[in-house]
Chain A
Amino acid sequence: MSGVKLTNVKKMFGAHAVIKDVSLEVPKGEFGVFVGPSGCGKSTLLRMIAGLEETSGGRIEIGGRDVTEVEPAKRGVAMVFQSYALYPHLTVAENMGFSLRLSRAPRAEREEKVREAARILQLTDHLDKKPSDLSGGQRQRVAIGRAIVRQPDVFLFDEPLSNLDAELRVQMRLELTRLHRQIGATMIYVTHDQVEAMTLADDIFVLKGGHVMQAGRPLGLYDDPDNRFVAGFIGSPAMNFVDAVVTASDATGITARAEEGELHAALGGPKPAVGARVVLGIRPEHLSPVEAGGLPVTVEVAEELGGSSFVHSRSASGADIVFERRGSRDSLEGHRIRLGAPADKVFAFLPEGGRLR
């Protein structure tokens, strides 16, 4: 078992840089997730670790060994593809034993390993079927089984659940977590779905435009985002952002005028000058109706989830402001209310996106 370490890794397609100087580490045995919007370079980065894309600069280490120039099969990695990449002409057992067949492993050993992987993934009854006879979830498990059989140091997953329906996705997510506990190998997982990232990861790496915007534990990113992008990307429904102008500043934080209302944000570090423009971010669960102060909004619709609801409202400038409501079920639709949040739950960002702490 080995960790994966990238140092100043770059990838150019012609003159276009897709990965710009990425350094990160997924410690051995951990579950790392690359998450970001499409085109952020997350899949490319994964394919570079697998060796399917050449590295234009920097170093890739697996288990302390420099593998930057090593061919894919010798890196000790196995990959699960979004399209599953099963061989349609082979049975489930043959698909899973493919790598051992290639390396001419003895038949008994091959069958034993395939049986073991099939047991872990509950595929024992399907070993003689062709991939076309299986459901999407089963195919996905075969693809994972093919990786398990190789007993790799590192598992790589490239959006493996995106072709499954919602219910199956939740189920497979749990199975992956269980699998990770069971075999304890290092896993790197690519997704554009921040919910998947939050639920699966030990470490999340948020990527954008070929950069790592922030790396850390899921709740760390949620509670303490480094910048507006990460703040907006992690969490569902997304954080609310309002443009504001600083009207007062003291030792504990700032007061800013926003959307014809007023909010306080607690800041420990250097404060922006009075009159400076900032962006304030507040998560839906931290906003609640207040008597005075806060942001004046008009309530539009509520998404009822039973235990709680997400209420969409419109601010003075027309922005959609979402807040979470628990306990009370009487409709607020059409009401003009004010929404406030505790100062330590209001994040302040520079207009360029950096966080003020």
Chain B
Amino acid sequence: MAMIRNRTRHGLVALSLVLPFVAIFALVFAYPLFEVVRMSFTDAPLIGGGEWVGLDNYKRLFADKLFYRSLQNNGYFVLLTVVPTTVIALTIALAVNRLSGRMQALALVLFFTPYVLPVSVVTQIWAWMLDFQFGVLQPVIEFVTGKPVPVFKNPFWVMPSVAVVTIWWTNGFNVLLFLAGLRNIPTELYEAAQLDGATRAQLFRRVTWPLLWPVTALVLTLQLILQLKIFDQIYLLSEGGPFNSSYVLLLMVYREAFQLNNGGYAAAISLVLFLLIVVISVLQFQILRIGGKRK
């Protein structure tokens, strides 16, 4: 009897401990999510009710040329950032890891500093540096291309430029993750491999890379999710232009919801983006895990 009573009490205590979290989660995540799903089947404005329109919003979306353009740009941006930022972060982490003591701390601070800045400051810094007339980086561009380029107003240059800004801004965090991963690899493994006659390239390929793989997979997945949600930098640097060449899905959501007051349609777009991110990141993580196991 006592045992059963204890178990009931046990359950109640457990419930009271998780209840605050469940309540907050329901209020700020589950309920809005449910509302977004419901809204996407209505013609509701941003605030206030609307008529049930069935799949109309989705039909409209899949016929919208701007949706496909944005989808394409999102994909292009992911290509431009995810793998490059991972490679760069790994390279920097390997280099920083070779430094000792104070030099290492200093280098880490330097690489991490941009991450601390708010996005508007970051975009302002780069807008200045890449300014068509006065930007300090224009001579570099001129040296490569032969003439100065207004990068955020040029359809060819705009996405790569936003990608560079994004990588510069967020790379420090990835460096930190890689560095933590590198520090977790015991020194003896390198010493043993050294005694076994491993060259520097073999040390990386046979020891560092496979043992760092879980971190690499994590960084790739986090980056994929983050970069699919690209919005701030584009909104602040190019506003989707020129000629929609940097238009992305979240920009579309923003315009439909907050500028055109089409709550229902915006809900449909965000739901599609949400599903896209879930499917792609789960898929990617599974593929990376299998890849890790085969090694």
Contacts and interface: CB of A to CB of B under 8 A. Distances in A.
A99 B210 contact: no
Given A87-B207, A89-B211, A89-B295, A98 B193 contact: yes
Interface in A97-155: 98-99, 101-103, 146, 150
Interface string A24-66: 0000000000000000000000000011100000000000000
Contacts of A85: 186, 188-189, 191-192
A132 to B, nearest CB: 13
A78 B211 contact: no
A79 B192 contact: yes
A239 interface: no
A195 interface: no
A73 B188 contact: no
Contacts of A74: 197
B184 to A, nearest CB: 11
Nearest to B210: A89
Nearest to B292: A89
A222 interface: no
B196 A77 contact: no
Contact of B196 (A52, A81, A150): A150
Contacts, number: 56
Given A89-B211, A89-B295, A99 B191 contact: no
A73 B196 CA distance: 6
A99 to B, nearest CB: 4
B197 A102 contact: yes
Given A79-B192, A85-B189, A89-B295, A103 B197 contact: yes
Nearest to B187: A85
Please classify how large the interface on chain B is, using the bins under 10, 10 to 19, 20 to 34, 35 or more.
Answer: 10 to 19
Interface in B241-295: 295
A101 B196 CA distance: 10
Contacts of B193: 98, 102
Given A81-B188, A83-B188, A50 B195 contact: yes
Contact of B202 (A50, A77, A102, A150): A102
A77 B202 CA distance: 19
B189 A99 contact: no
A252 B189 CA distance: 58
Interface residues of A, number: 22
Interface in B191-218: 191-198, 202, 206-207, 210-211, 213
A88 interface: yes
Nearest to A88: B211
A164 B197 CA distance: 28
A102 B196 contact: yes
B192 A81 contact: yes
B194 A73 contact: yes
B214 to A, nearest CB: 10
A99 B197 contact: yes
A189 to B, nearest CB: 16
A131 B21 CA distance: 40
A73 B206 contact: no
Nearest to B189: A85
Contacts of B189: 85, 87
A88 B211 CA distance: 8
Nearest to B195: A72
Nearest to B196: A99
A79 B198 contact: no
User: Which of B191, B193, B194, B196 has the most chain A CB atoms closer than 10 A to its own CB?
Assistant: B196
A141 B76 CA distance: 52
Interface string A214-246: 000000000000000000000000000000000
Contacts of B206: 87, 98, 101-102
A81 B211 contact: no
Contacts of A150: 196
A226 to B, nearest CB: 34
A41 B196 CA distance: 24
B195 to A, nearest CB: 5
Contact of B194 (A72, A87, A89, A101): A72
Contacts of B211: 87-89
A79 B189 CA distance: 12
A83 B202 contact: no
Nearest to B198: A102
Nearest to A75: B195
A79 B193 CA distance: 10
Interface in B212-252: 213
B193 to A, nearest CB: 7
A87 B207 CA distance: 8
Given A87-B207, A88-B211, A78 B188 contact: no
Contacts of A103: 197
A101 B206 CA distance: 10
A98 B196 contact: yes
A254 B151 CA distance: 98
Given A87-B207, A89-B210, A78 B195 contact: yes
24 contacts: A50-B195, A52-B191, A52-B194, A72-B195, A73-B194, A73-B196, A73-B198, A83-B188, A85-B186, A85-B189, A85-B191, A87-B189, A87-B206, A87-B210, A88-B211, A89-B211, A98-B193, A98-B206, A99-B196, A101-B206, A102-B193, A102-B196, A102-B197, A103-B197
Interface of A: 50-52, 72-74, 77-79, 81, 83, 85, 87-89, 98-99, 101-103, 146, 150
Given A73-B197, A102-B193, 17 more contacts: A50-B191, A52-B194, A72-B191, A73-B198, A74-B197, A77-B195, A79-B191, A81-B188, A87-B210, A87-B211, A89-B213, A102-B197, A102-B198, A103-B197, A146-B192, A146-B196, A150-B196
The 9 closest A-B pairs by CB, nearest first: A73-B197, A99-B196, A85-B188, A85-B192, A89-B210, A81-B188, A72-B195, A72-B194, A52-B191
